[in-house]
Amino acid sequence: MMSLFLTLFLALRAQASPGVGLSLDQVLQQVDRNNPEIAAARAMAEAGQSMVLASWSLPDPQVGVTFNNFPRSGLDLSQSQSRSLDLIQELPFPGKQLLASRQAGAEADAKRASLERVRADQRLEARRMYWELEASQASAQVLSRSAASLGELVALSQERDRFGATDRMAQLMDPMARMQQAAALNALASADADAWAARQALKRLMGLGAAAALPELALAGEQELFQAGDDHGALLKKALSAAPEVKEALAALASSQARQEVALAGWLPSFMLQYSLMQDQSGMASGMAMARMSVPLWFTRPWGEASAAGHEATAAQSMAASARLSSQEAFESAWAKRQAGREQWRRFQQQILPLSQQAGERGIAGYRAGSVGVADALSAVLAYQSMNLDALMLQSQLGLLDATLLRLTGE
């Protein structure tokens, strides 16, 4: 009786509706809006953009008051023979402000590239957790159906035993089916635990609090696989220019080159303009204007800064080349695995899964009718279980491989 109740419970569990479906697109939209790491990177990018405006500002003007010609030492301002109001403005050499703004713009671009890399990382992780959660939930359903089928075999074996219709081989059915059923239930518990862990990871990536509820996923399928496209040459070309690491490295290179230009501009002088309005003790007013120019006599500072920026630019250029090579390697590896997996996926869909379903049903029906032996019936049910679990694992791997290609192509 307990076996029959367990069979009924697992069958109902396998047929239960998943509830409100959460699609992969909805998950990614939530990640873009509420992921904390993306939000932090976005704020840094906005800060970099604000510095572009600040880079156009001239040095602050100076305003001062001067008291001259005291009759004797002391600080009695009323005894001053003359007073002046001074206005001073420093002016960089023409073009320096433009170079400074270009450097600020390049650094802002680098921060935006860093934002896109963080966004790509978080979206890839969300896709991975989505497929893990989908595979865990679907695996739990397969294991539920498998355990229910094994429970049916246990019930049939017990019924035969009550009527004395068992031989020596048939006597093995009860313990063997019970053992496999317990193993399926253990695997079911592990699948539920994996689903819980993936669900918590998705909540974190989506910026949901611990108390927030995550809706069940919509059942995924082939329509959510292979979104990256099939044109190898076009995708590889895009990966070599649009991969987040490549764009980030190129932005770092542009920033280093802009810093080098600013450092080289250190050889150029700056100017200072001053105007003073003076008044002596008799009340007579006069004015004074003065212009000064800084002379970059000590060449070591601009030379050292330009040399350091040049080395940084060389290093950034090497990092950009390395990023391209790494992206090419990752793309080719993911592409090869994806192509092999697509052929395996086709065989699963067209042959393996329908045949495993048919074998499982015929194994149970044959054992019930007495035309199939113990070993064959158990093998049929376990084949159904293993083939379906393998198909779900392959689907999850294909989803992650496709997500990797999408990330490498800047999607």
Give the burial class of 61: count Cβ atoms within 10 A of its Cβ; 0-12 exposed, 13-18 middle, 19 or more buried: exposed
Q: What is the mean pLDDT of residues 341-347?
A: 90
Distance CA 389, CA 395 (A): 10
Percent of the chain with pLDDT over 70: 89
pTM equals 0.79
Beta bridge partners of 68: 82
pLDDT at residue 152, rounded to an integer: 82
Stronger pLDDT, 396 or 21, i.e. the higher one: 396
pLDDT at 53 over 70: yes
Domains of the chain: 2-51+94-267+300-408 (1.20.1600.10)
Beta strands 270-280 and 285-293, pairing class: antiparallel
Residue 42 has which token pair? 């976005």
pLDDT at residue 10, rounded to an integer: 45
Residue whose pair of structure tokens reads 């809006």 in the numeric block: 33
- Mind giving me the DSSP string for 337-350? HHHHHHHHHHHIII
pLDDT at residue 94, rounded to an integer: 83
Do the Cβ atoms of 158 and 3 come closer than 8 Å?
yes
Residue 173 banded pLDDT, cuts 50, 70, 90: low
Stronger pLDDT, 385 or 19, i.e. the higher one: 385
pLDDT at 172 over 60: yes
pLDDT at 208 over 80: yes
Distance CA 174, CA 196 (A): 33
